[in-house]
Amino acid sequence: MNMAVKENISVFKFQGIVNVFVIFCSYVFACRAQSYIFDDEKGLGREFDGIGGLSGGGATSRLLVNYPEPYRSQVLDYLFKPNFGASLHILKVEIGGDAQTTDGTEPSHMHYEDDENYFRGYEWWLMREAKKRNPNITLIGLPWAFPGWIGRGKNWPYDYPDITVYYVVSWIAGAKQYHDLDIDYVGIWNERSFDSKYIKVLRQTLDRVGLTSVRIIAADGDWGISKAMTVDPYLSNAVQVIGAHYPGTYTVADAVKTGKKLWSSEDYSTFNDDIGGGCWARILNQNYVNGLMTSTISWNLVASYYEDLPFGKDGLMTAQEPWSGNYLVESPIWITAHTTQFTQPGWSYLQTVGHLKHGGSYVALTDGLGNLTIVIETMTHDHSVCIRPPLPGFNVSAQNATFSLKGSFSTLTVLQVWYSKFDFKTRKPTYFKQLSPIKLSDGSFTLNLNVDEVYTLTTITTGKKGSYPKPPDSKPFPKKYLEDFNVRNPSFTEAPYFADQTGVFEYFINMSDPGDHVFTLRQVVTQRPVTWVADADQTISVIGDHSWQNMTVSCDIYIETANKGGVFVAGRVTKGGGEVRNTKGIFFWVFADGTYKVTNDLRGEIVLTEGLSGTRAGVWHTLTLRIEGTFASGMLNGYPLWMNVMLLGPSNGWAAIGTRAFEPAQYDNFYVEAN
C-alpha cells in the first residue's frame, strides 16, 4: 500500500468521516484528475485552538528585552500584531523556576519560601506586550523547574502537592493582580513524569479560588497520560487538554478515546532556514490531518539567545543581537501567517481534510458564519525535516488538484489567495505573497500545484504582509564592554546581555552601602533547585562572544558567605545550557578562606595554579583575568597575584561570572575587553 493511501486510512480511523473520494481516486479508480471536496453538510470537525509560540524552556527570549527601540517593538509586531506577521493566537511562557531549562535559567516568583515577587524576568513583560497587540491572545504557563524549597530536599515537586499547587496558583493569581493578565491554561511539569494526585489537587484548588476558567494541559511529554485518563474519570475531569511534544503529526488511539482536545503543545525546534519553514508548514497542517491536533506551539517563539547555546536559531524568527539592533524575519513567520491571519481560535476544522494524491496536505476551517480558509502544503520530505522525530520517507510531486466547495460554501464566488514557495534550486523563495483572487465558477477551482508550496485560499480579506525598514546591519558583540549596574529603575531584573546558566543574577540595591557599591548585580539562588537538566553545582552567567580568544575580564566582587564562600570571573567559557556542568574555560576563583585557584573547568577540578590571596567575605575585591594565546595572568585589587600560567585550552569562549556554590554574592564594575 502506498504511503498516501495508508495515511488516508489512518485518518479515516481517527476521524470517522474522511475524504472518501481521495481513497477511491487513489486506490480503486485510476482517476487522472484529482478532486477534493470541502463540505460542511455533515457537520464540522474539531474546534481549532490556535497556533502559538513558546518563550522559555528556557531563557529563549533573554536577549530580546535588551533591544533598543524601535527594533524591539518591530520584533514584537512581527510575532503578535494581528494582520501583520505571524499574528500568533497563543503565547506560552515558562513559569521560571531558577534552574537551567535549555538556554539558561529563568527567575522564579518565589526564590524562597517566604519570598514573592511578580516582576522578575521578562515573561510578564512579554505577555503584556503580546496582549497589547492582540487582546484575544491565549496565555499559557508551564513550569520546567522549581526553586529548591518546593522539593523539601528532594529533586522532585510532587511529594508535597499542596505546596507545589500553591506555588503555581500564586503565579496565575500574580499575573492577574500585578499585570492584569488572565492566564488561560496551565501545565504540569514540562516533559517530566505527571502525578495524578497533583493534577487533581491543582484542578480543585483552581476551582476553589475562583480560577475555574483556567484549563489544565497535561502532561507536556508523550501521550502517556491518555491511558491513565481512560481509567481514571477524576483525572480525566481535571484535564482539559492533552498536550504532547514533537508528536510527528500522529496521536494514539487512547488519546482520541478520551474525547479531550489534543494539542501539539511543543513542536518545531528546528533551525529556522527554509527547511525549518518547510517543517513548520508540513506539521501545521498535518498535526490535524494525521493526528487531530487542534493547536501547535513552536519552541521557540523567537531565537533571542546566544547562538552558541544549544539549539541556536530554533525560533520562528531571530533576534539575537540587541547590541546591533539587527534581527531576521525568517520563513516560519510567514508560514505561520498562512494559517493565523485567516483563522481564529474558536473556528472549526471541516471534516473534509486530508492528503493530496501526489503528496502534501490540505485543511479547511470555518468560523461557522460563512467564512472559509483553506491551507494547502506540498512540502517534500527533504525540505521539511524537523529536528525530531525521524521523518519516514514520502514522495511529493507536481499535481493539478480540483477543489469543489459544497454545503454552505457552494455559493462563494471569490477567494483571496496567499502563496509561498521554497525554491531550493533558484534560492529565490517567495514568502506570503498575495496573488489575484480566484473567481469561482460552479463552486470549484483547480490549482496547478508544484512542490514545496503553501497556498491559503480564503474569504477573509484582512490579510497583510507587514514590513518595517531593514533593521541595522549585524555586528559582533562590542569588543569593549563596561557594566556598572548603576540603574536606578531597571526595566528588567537582569543586567543586559548576561545569560544566566545556573543560578539567577539580579540587580541589587544596598542602601546602607556607604560608597561605590550601592547598585550591584547579585546572585540570589541559595539552594539547588528542583532541576530540569543537570545544573552545575556552581552558579554562572555568561556574556559576550563565543569566538573570543584573547580577553581581559575585570570585576569587583563581594563574597557574602564567610569561610566557605567563593566567587569567580572567567574567560573562554565553552558551554551553557544542559551541558553547563561540563563547561571548560579559564576560571579565576577567590575564596572567603583567603585562598585563590585557577582552574580549567567550572567544577574546579582541573587546577592550573592556586595559593593564598587574603580574600574574605564582606569586603569588596577587584579581580582581573587576562588571557592571551596560551597564557593567563590574574590580578587582585590591581596587583599581580599569579602570572603567565600555561593553558592547554580551550581556545575560545564567553566571559563569565559566578559563585563557588548556591550562595549569594555580588558583582560591580564588570569590564571585558576582547582582542
Q: Does 648 bind ligand NAG (CB under 6 A)?
A: no
Q: Which stretch binds ligand NAG (CB under 6 A): 291-299, 367-375, 481-489, 587-595?
A: 367-375
The CB-of-550 to ligand NAG minimum distance in angstroms stands at: 4
Using the CB atoms, write b or e for 562-596: b if 16+ within 10 Å.
eeebbbbbbbbbbbbbbbbbebbbbbbbbbbbeeb
User: Rounded distance, CA 156 to CA 99, Å?
Assistant: 13
Instruction: Name the residue type at position 8.
Output: N
* Residue 135 DSSP code: T
Of 261-280, binders to ligand NAG (CB under 6 A) are none
- Would you say 61 or 666 has its CB closer to ligand NAG? 666
The CB-of-508 to ligand NAG minimum distance in angstroms stands at: 7
Radius of gyration of the chain (CA): 27
- Would you say 154 or 479 has its CB closer to ligand NAG? 479
The CB-of-363 to ligand NAG minimum distance in angstroms stands at: 18
Q: Does 509 bind ligand NAG (CB under 6 A)?
A: no
Among 47, 254, 308, 628, binds ligand NAG (CB under 6 A): 628
Q: Does 459 bind ligand NAG (CB under 6 A)?
A: yes
CB 508 within 8 A of CB 68: no
Among 177, 212, 237, 400, binds ligand NAG (CB under 6 A): 400
Among 426, 436, 489, 512, binds ligand NAG (CB under 6 A): 512
141 three-class SS: strand
Output the DSSP codes for 315-362: SSSEEEETTTTEEE--HHHHHHHHHHTT--BTBEEES--EE-TTS-EE
The CB-of-395 to ligand NAG minimum distance in angstroms stands at: 4
Among 399, 456, 541, 613, binds ligand NAG (CB under 6 A): 399
Binding marks (x or -) toward ligand NAG, 76..115, rule CB under 6 A? ------x---------------------------------
Q: What sign results for the dihedral spanned by CA atoms 511, 514, 518, 524?
A: negative
Q: Which stretch binds ligand NAG (CB under 6 A): 68-76, 116-124, 201-209, 387-395?
A: 387-395
User: Rounded distance, CA 281 to CA 354, Å?
Assistant: 15
User: Rounded distance, CA 318 to CA 326, Å?
Assistant: 9
Instruction: Name the residue type at position 225.
Output: I
- Would you say 6 or 257 has its CB closer to ligand NAG? 6
Q: What cell does 199 get? A: 493534577
Please indicate whether residue 266 is annotated as part of the active site. Answer: yes
The CB-of-101 to ligand NAG minimum distance in angstroms stands at: 27
281 three-class SS: helix
Please indicate whether residue 494 is annotated as part of the active site. Answer: no
Q: Does 204 bind ligand NAG (CB under 6 A)?
A: no
- Would you say 3 or 562 has its CB closer to ligand NAG? 3
- Would you say 191 or 628 has its CB closer to ligand NAG? 628
Which own/partner pairs from 599-607 qualify as long-range (CB within 8 Å, at least 24 positions apart)? 600/647, 600/648, 600/649, 602/536, 602/538, 602/540, 602/570, 602/573, 602/658, 603/536, 603/537, 603/538, 604/538, 604/660
Q: Which stretch binds ligand NAG (CB under 6 A): 347-355, 396-404, 470-478, 529-537?
A: 396-404
Instruction: Name the residue type at position 256.
Output: V
The CB-of-442 to ligand NAG minimum distance in angstroms stands at: 17
Among 395, 411, 413, 644, binds ligand NAG (CB under 6 A): 395
Q: Which stretch binds ligand NAG (CB under 6 A): 12-20, 96-104, 507-515, 592-600?
A: 507-515
The CB-of-400 to ligand NAG minimum distance in angstroms stands at: 4
Count residues contacting ligand NAG (CB under 6 A)? 29
User: Rounded distance, CA 552 to CA 567, Å?
Assistant: 17
The CB-of-528 to ligand NAG minimum distance in angstroms stands at: 21
CB 44 within 8 A of CB 366: yes
Among 448, 469, 646, 648, binds ligand NAG (CB under 6 A): 448
Among 134, 265, 659, 669, binds ligand NAG (CB under 6 A): 134
Residue 448's CB is within 10 A of a number of other CB atoms, namely 8
Catalytic residue among 106, 123, 129, 266: 266
Q: Does 460 bind ligand NAG (CB under 6 A)?
A: yes
Q: Name the nearest CA neighbour of 555 among 485, 654, 469, 622.
A: 622
User: For residue 470, what are the contacts with CB-CB under 8 A and spacing of at least 6?
Assistant: none
Burial of 385 (0-12, 13-18, 19+ CB in 10 A): middle
Of 587-616, binders to ligand NAG (CB under 6 A) are none
Among 210, 233, 390, 393, binds ligand NAG (CB under 6 A): 393
Q: Does 135 bind ligand NAG (CB under 6 A)?
A: yes
- Would you say 193 or 549 has its CB closer to ligand NAG? 549
CB 297 within 8 A of CB 316: no
Q: Does 426 bind ligand NAG (CB under 6 A)?
A: no
**Upstream peptide bond of 476 is cis (omega within 30 degrees of 0):** no
User: Rounded distance, CA 88 to CA 295, Å?
Assistant: 11
The CB-of-362 to ligand NAG minimum distance in angstroms stands at: 16
- Would you say 233 or 393 has its CB closer to ligand NAG? 393
Output the DSSP codes for 45-102: EEEP-EEEEEE-SS-TTTTGGGPPTTHHHHHHHHHHSTTTSS--SEEEEEE--SSB-S
Among 434, 510, 582, 644, binds ligand NAG (CB under 6 A): 510
Q: Does 33 bind ligand NAG (CB under 6 A)?
A: no
Q: Does 390 bind ligand NAG (CB under 6 A)?
A: no
Q: Does 155 bind ligand NAG (CB under 6 A)?
A: no
User: Rounded distance, CA 89 to CA 529, Å?
Assistant: 32
**Upstream peptide bond of 281 is cis (omega within 30 degrees of 0):** no
Q: Which stretch binds ligand NAG (CB under 6 A): 58-66, 114-122, 428-436, 512-520?
A: 512-520
Q: Which stretch binds ligand NAG (CB under 6 A): 128-136, 157-165, 252-260, 293-301?
A: 128-136
Q: Does 371 bind ligand NAG (CB under 6 A)?
A: yes
Active site residues: 191, 266
Q: Which residues bind ligand NAG (CB under 6 A)?
A: 2-3, 82, 134-136, 369-371, 393-395, 398-400, 448, 459-460, 510, 512-514, 549-550, 618, 628-629, 666, 675
